[in-house]
Copies of this chain bind each other. A is one copy, B any other.
Amino acid sequence: MSDKKLQRSNSTRYYFDDPDMDFIFQWSAGAAKTGGLDAGELFHVAARIADGDTASWVREFEAYGDDQRELAETWRRRGWRRSAGEAQMKAYYCYRQAWQFAGRGELFEPLIHKYEAAFAEAVDLLGLPLEFLEVPFEDNSLPGLRLDAGPDAPTLIVIGGGDTGREDMYHLIGYNAWQRGYTAVIVDMPGQGSTPLRGLYFMAETERPIGAVVDHLVDKYGQDPARLAIVGMSGGGYMVSRAVMTERRLAACVASTPVSDMGQILPVGVVRAMATEGAMRDSFQMYLWRSGCDTPEEFAELLTTFRADPAQVRCAYLAIAGAGESPTFLEQARRWHDGLPVATKALVELDAASGADAHCQINNPTRLAQEICGWLDEVLPRP
């Protein structure tokens, strides 16, 4: 498939002809339930964007974020604390989505600071039981979020992918898992979120940072490994799969999708296309930033080292894949599932009718949480 493009969303066009803009639009629409923009707001912004024109995308989302931030401040002064928090969360969402296509231009770093600040302000105003973590990692640290579901709750570590930061995973999984009784610990792996600003980049040996997260949970929170699970989304599907080959303090692992060979999914031909075609080319600049690479070829070479082997896994495992993704995702998920030498394993393939067929189920986070938490409820021992 070296001459093909990466396919992430389903065949239903939501708003944009540019496939990557439409993917991010779908993702944004799916996030309404956890505090992203309401439908009317999202379509209002979208209607002001020229299809495929990333400059107008960045401008309109940032401007709408500024409007939401101003509204939040007005409401905060008026004593409408919850509403102010909701508007700040929408401001966060706008800044973060603006950033997706900011392409390392002059707005790239300022938008990171704006979305991080808005998210933190929203958490404070909403009174969420959410702690900002710094997980010690070698001579550095990994930023995280811990959404506390109480002393008897099992813990779910949440790992995102190549596009995402901890705040994204709060919306895609963390909040929903917390509502279902899981303490969600969302940690940025090297290269994710804003960690390149602290000199951390994508790496193959993900057992190192994930091991550091488990260490931290055991040491600081007295975490019982029998009640500890991990989920990885997109590129995180590689990161967690690699880690559980050797990390034995995780009772269960979920991935959407499990990735055993990243180089097969993103061979150099596909990577080169990402670097040049459509709105994706601006996101691609961000992938280079996350990987510490200078060229598409160097990035593709790094990805060939991202390999995992199911034969070494010993924990319970749930593989999730969507019918709207590139077929390679589904093929690797099936191969991974078949190769797992464990008694407790499941493979969930979500078809178009599920409305959860896009990459990472971004078009139906409810279904994602239902599948993950339903399965974990059955697999993890009760307290």
Quick check: is A78 within 8 A (CB to CB) of the other chain? yes
Query: Which residue of B39, B364, B365, B377 contacts A30 across the interface (Cβ within 8 Å)?
Result: B39
A59 close to chain B: CB less than 8 A: no
Determine if B83 and A363 form an interchain contact, defined as CB atoms under 8 angstroms apart: no
Which residue of B33, B64, B377 contacts A33 across the interface (Cβ within 8 Å)? B33
Check B12 against A39 for contact (C-beta < 8 Å): no
Of the candidates B67, B180, B367, which one forms a contact with A353 in the assembled complex, judged by CB atoms under 8 Å apart?
B67
Which residues of chain B have C-beta atoms less than 8 A from A75's C-beta?
A: 370, 374
A14 nearest in chain B by CB position = B43
Residues of B within 8 A of A40 (CB): 10, 26, 30, 354-358, 361, 363-364, 367
| In the assembled complex, A240 has its CB within 8 A of some CB on chain B | no
Residue A218 lies at the interface, judged by CB distance under 8 Å to chain B: no
Nearest-CB residue, chain B, relative to A67:
B353
Which residue in B180, B353, B366 is a CB contact (below 8 Å) of A44? B353
Cβ B44 vs Cβ A39 within 8 A: no
* Identical chains in the assembly: 2
Interface size class of A (residues with CB under 8 A): 35 or more
Give Cα A233–Cα B370 distance, bound, in whole angstroms: 33
A370 partner, pick from B26, B83, B361, B378, beta carbons under 8 A: B83
Q: B41, B355, B356, B358: which contacts A42 (Cβ < 8 A)?
A: B355
A309 to chain B, nearest CB (A): 31
**Are B377 and A44 within 8 A (Cβ)?**
no
A32 lies within 8 A of chain B by Cβ: yes
Bound together, the chains give a CA A14 to CA B46 distance in angstroms of: 10
Within the assembled complex, what's the spacing in Å between the Cα atoms of A370 and B125?
Answer: 14
* A1 located at the interface, meaning its Cβ lies under 8 Å from any Cβ of chain B in the complex: no
Give A285 Cβ to nearest chain B Cβ, in Å.
Answer: 27
Is the CB of A37 closer than 8 A to any CB of chain B?
A: yes
Interface string of A1-43 (1 = CB under 8 A from B): 0000000001010100000000000100110110001111111
Distance of A72 from chain B, by nearest CB (Å): 11
- Bound-state CA distance A42–B361 (Å) is 14
Assess the A43–B12 pair: CB atoms within 8 A. yes
A114 interface hit (Cβ, 8 Å): no
CB distance B86 to A39 under 8 Å? no
Cβ of A306 to closest chain B Cβ, rounded Å: 28
With most chain B CB atoms within 10 A of its CB, the pick from A26, A30, A38, A363 is A38
In the assembled complex, the Cα of A309 lies from the Cα of B278 at a distance in Å of 57
Q: Is A47 an interface residue (CB 8 A)?
A: yes
Which has the most chain B C-beta neighbours within 10 Å: A30, A44, A82, A357?
A44
How far, in Å, is A177 (CB) from chain B's closest CB?
A: 12
Map CB proximity to B onto A346-381 as digits: 1 under 8 Å, 0 otherwise.
Answer: 000000111111100101111100100010011000
Q: Tell me which residues across on chain B come within 8 A of A38, comparing CB atoms.
A: 30, 33, 355-356, 363-367
Residue A80, interface by CB 8 Å:
yes
Chain B residues near A355 (CB-CB < 8 A): 37-44
Interface centre among A86, A361, A363 (most CB of B within 10 A): A363
* Given A356-B40, A364-B41, A33-B32 contact (CB < 8 Å): yes
Are B29 and A39 interface neighbours, CB within 8 A? yes
Nearest chain B residue, comparing its CB with the CB of A29: B39
Q: Say which residue of B41, B80, B378 sits within 8 Å of A377 (CB atoms).
A: B80
**A324 — nearest CB in chain B belongs to which residue?**
B40
For residue A225, give the distance in angstroms from its CB to the closest CB of chain B.
25
Q: List 16 A-B contacts (CB under 8 A).
A: A12-B44, A14-B39, A38-B365, A39-B364, A40-B355, A40-B357, A40-B358, A40-B364, A40-B367, A41-B354, A41-B364, A44-B352, A44-B355, A79-B377, A80-B377, A83-B370
